[in-house]
């Protein structure tokens, strides 16, 4: 398990990744292994079963960690960025690193010409980056800067940073939920209004894992007497998909005003 410490808007030279390591069995010794290749220092604390990895970048680049995603095997996908003076935008390029469980770091040279420039100032919603499987990585961005009508796009690249395809995820600013089963792909969801959630499902092609296909989409709606206050996607142990909804009844029934009533719903998709 990786835990990123000092990652929010800090110089990259202060970044530290903690890697859970089950191979440290000595309880009373601290083993220091200095790897002089690529400026890495790997510290293995035997008593706490943790491995500390520090990677130093050129401070003049001014890079910070903008986004991170941890794959099920412990591999981390990092996006690094340089913010402007008031931190309202980042430089218009993709700086992606893959951090492997053995401590190796692989920079990806990803072409970003197809990403409209305004994405680099939509910092609260843009670049939801995820590892889909051992062949593909998902980079999200928007086509259109109006929050209600923008097209949420996905760029699929391989683990070498090569472009594979673009896919349209949905209309509006949505969320991504990667399934625990690689074959089940991922879900895109968006709350359309107070009573409706839109969803789409994408999976790797069984015959070609580097090709991502849309296999379904739809809407989940609740009673017009209630509103959705929050929702969350989840996956079941067998790779199924579901929603949890928190709703509140706040409208009148037969001219009788009810007190607000909160409900929690669990909805499973076939």
CB 181 within 8 A of CB 206: no
Cα–Cα distance, 196 to 194 (Å, whole number): 6
| Predicted local confidence at residue 21, as pLDDT | 34
Question: At CB < 8 A and 24+ separation, what contacts does 94-99 make?
Answer: 94/139, 95/63, 96/129, 96/137, 96/139, 96/161, 98/159, 99/2, 99/17, 99/53, 99/55, 99/75
Which of 137-141, 142-146, 160-164, 258-262 has the weakest average pLDDT?
258-262
- Report pLDDT for 148: 73
* Structure confidence at residue 149 as a pLDDT band (50, 70, 90): confident
How many domains would you assign to the chain?
1
Average pLDDT over residues 218-246: 90
What is the DSSP annotation of 185-251?
-EEEEEE-SSSEEEEEEEEEETTEEEEEEEEEEEEEE--TTEEEEEEEEEE-TTS-EEEEEEEEE-S
Structure confidence by residue, pLDDT tens digits, 170-194: 999 999 999 999 999 999 999 999 9
266 found inside a domain: no
- 184 within domain boundaries: no
Amino acid 5: pLDDT: 36
Beta bridge partners of 197: 191, 220
Residue 7 lies in a domain: yes
Residue 88 in any domain: the answer is yes
Question: Which residue segment(s) compose the domain that 58 sits in?
Answer: 1-99
- Output the pLDDT for position 249: 84
Q: Is residue 90 part of a domain?
A: yes
* pLDDT tens per residue, range 7-55: 333 333 333 333 333 333 333 333 233 333 333 333 333 333 345 566 6
* pLDDT value of residue 183: 92
pLDDT at 129: 93
Using pLDDT thresholds of 50, 70 and 90, give the confidence band for residue 224. confident
As a whole number, the mean pLDDT across the chain is 78
Q: Give the model's pLDDT for residue 3.
A: 36
For residue 35, the SS3 value is strand
Q: Quote the pTM value.
A: 0.75
Range in 78-87, 155-164, 225-234, 242-251 with the lowest mean pLDDT: 242-251
Structure tokens, 175: 């969320």
In a domain, 137, yes or no: no
pLDDT at 37: 33
Answer yes or no: is 21 within a domain: yes
Residue range 82-93: mean pLDDT, rounded: 91
pLDDT at 112: 87
pLDDT in tens, 152-176: 999 999 999 999 999 999 999 999 9
State the pLDDT at residue 34: 32
Over pLDDT 90: what percentage of the chain? Answer: 52
pLDDT at 98: 95
Residue 144 confidence (pLDDT): 86
Residue 177 forms part of a structural domain = no
């Amino acid at each position: 398990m990786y835990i990123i410490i000092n990652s929010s808007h800090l110089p990259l030279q202060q970044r530290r990744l903690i890697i859970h390591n089950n191979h440290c069995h000595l309880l009373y010794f601290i083993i220091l292994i200095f790897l002089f290749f690529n400026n890495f220092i790997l510290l293995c604390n035997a008593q706490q079963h943790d491995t500390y990895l520090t990677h130093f970048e050129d401070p003049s680049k001014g890079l910070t960690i903008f986004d991170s995603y941890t794959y099920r095997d412990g591999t981390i996908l990092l996006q690094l960025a340089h913010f402007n003076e008031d931190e309202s935008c980042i430089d218009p390029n993709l700086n992606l690193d893959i951090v492997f469980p053995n401590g190796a770091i692989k920079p990806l040279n990803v072409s970003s010409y197809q990403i409209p420039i305004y994405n680099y100032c939509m910092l609260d919603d843009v670049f939801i980056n995820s590892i889909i499987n051992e062949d593909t990585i998902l980079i999200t961005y928007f086509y259109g800067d109006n929050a209600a009508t923008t097209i949420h796009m996905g760029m699929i690249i391989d683990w070498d940073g090569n472009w594979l395809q673009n896919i349209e995820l949905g209309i509006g600013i949505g969320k991504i939920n990667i399934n625990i089963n690689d074959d089940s792909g991922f879900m895109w969801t968006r709350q359309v209004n107070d009573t409706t959630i839109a969803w789409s499902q994408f999976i790797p092609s069984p015959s070609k894992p580097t090709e991502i296909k849309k296999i379904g989409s739809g809407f989940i709606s609740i009673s017009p007497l209630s509103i959705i206050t929050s929702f969350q996607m989840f996956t079941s142990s067998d790779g199924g998909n579901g929603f949890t909804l928190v709703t509140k009844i706040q409208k009148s029934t037969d001219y009788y005003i009810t007190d607000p009533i909160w409900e929690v719903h669990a909805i499973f998709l076939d």
